[in-house]
Amino acid sequence: MKIIETVGDMRAQVKVWKKEGYRVGLVPTMGYLHEGHQSLIKRACRENDKVVVSVFVNPTQFGPNEDLESYPRDLEHDAALCQQCGAAVIFHPTPAEMYPEGYCTFVDMDILTKELCGLSRPTHFRGVCTVVSKLFHIVQPDMAYFGEKDAQQLAVIKRMVSDLNMDVQIVGCPIVREADGLAKSSRNTYLSLEERKAALVLSKSIFAGKKMVESGEKSADKLVNLMKSIIEKEPLAKIDYVKVVDLMTMQQITVLDRPFLAAVAVYIGKTRLIDNFMVQEV
Ligand code: AMP
């Protein structure tokens, strides 16, 4: 497995692969890889001849007071994990390689990015759309893999690919959880022991919500209230949002009569965590 650091070298490698007729898969990440990322990489390796894992802590998707500087990084560990999964290349550019002096082009999106995480992180999806577009242009993947853990991001990327006629197939992969239910996340490393226990309210609210829907509940308000009441029992938890939205448009709904996403964002101490469940068929 190679680690490639420049856009030029990455393009040259892809050119060789395309000449051979290889099918190329891309897994965009910010590194500090865990079993959640691993499930995406393994699936990409099953479905493609060559897999690129990008490891790039993308500055444009962080707000001014967010954790860009402290975001955990460990390329050595990431390389071992990617190699073990069967990836061909880690693409690991510097911020200056991706955003050289004078950089001023961005990909922005309306509607879908204005709800949920877009409300508390108003420039986040502009950064995500921009970096993912750049990665698609550099790597020219046939397939690209994203986790349902970041469900709004997945919806936004699918919309962008459709709206901008990008020639890549987007694959959504299920949330991978710790044994006790907490969704795996690189940000879980920020949690103290006490906070780690408190963080379980996210998955508890998700599991209870799912059960309520499975038992036939059709009111989005009742679903939100149940999930909120579980999170509010935990003193260390502060709700950013608990919402139910249309799966395609990310706009809030009141009746559970179409495919939807139930999503939560909660501060545990200073750490902001997200979780969700989707219902594709109603
Ligand atoms: P990140 O490095 O956090 O930007 O995540 C890179 C990709 O891995 C995104 O598509 C995430 O949705 C996905 N991912 C992160 N955590 C998980 C998880 N616990 N289960 C499934 N996918 C995940």
- What is the DSSP code string of the chain? -EEE-SHHHHHHHHHHHHHTT--EEEEEE-SS--HHHHHHHHHHHHH-SEEEEEE---GGGS-TTSSTTTS---HHHHHHHHHHHT-SEEE---HHHHS-TT-------SGGGGSTHHHHSTTHHHHHHHHHHHHHHHH--SEEEEEGGGHHHHHHHHHHHHHTT---EEEEEPPPB-TTSPBP-GGGGG--HHHHHHTHHHHHHHHHHHHHHHTT--BHHHHHHHHHHHHHT-TTEEEEEEEEEETTT--B-SB--S-EEEEEEEEETTEEEEEEEEE---
Candidates 29, 39, 180: which one to mutate for ligand 1, based on the most atoms within 8 Å of Cβ? Answer: 29
Residue 49 has a pLDDT of 99
Pocket lined around ligand 1, Cβ cut-off 6 Å: 29-30, 36-37, 39-40, 146-147, 149-150, 173, 175-176, 183-186
Residue 29 has a pLDDT of 98
Q: Which atom of ligand 1 is nearest to the CA of 186?
A: 3
Residue 128 has a pLDDT of 98
CA-nearest residue for atom 5, ligand 1, is 29
Residue 282 has a pLDDT of 86
Query: Which residues are marked as active site?
Result: 37
Residue 172 has a pLDDT of 98
Q: Are 182 and 203 in contact (CB under 8 A)?
A: yes
Residue 137 C-alpha to ligand 1 middle, in angstroms?
21
Residue 33 C-alpha to ligand 1 middle, in angstroms?
9
Residue 144 C-alpha to ligand 1 middle, in angstroms?
13
Q: Which atom of ligand 1 is nearest to the CA of 176?
A: 20
Residue 117 C-alpha to ligand 1 middle, in angstroms?
15
Query: What's the predicted TM-score (pTM) here?
Result: 0.98
CA-nearest residue for atom 7, ligand 1, is 29
| pLDDT tens for each residue of the chain, 282 residues long | 999 999 999 999 999 999 999 999 999 999 999 999 999 999 999 999 999 999 999 999 999 999 999 999 999 999 999 999 999 999 999 999 999 999 999 999 999 999 999 999 999 999 999 999 999 999 999 999 999 999 999 999 999 999 999 999 999 999 999 999 999 999 999 999 999 999 999 999 999 999 999 999 999 999 999 999 999 999 999 999 999 999 999 999 999 999 999 999 999 999 999 999 999 998
Q: Which atom of ligand 1 is nearest to the CA of 175?
A: 20
The dihedrals phi and psi of 117, each to the nearest 5 degrees, come to: -65, -25
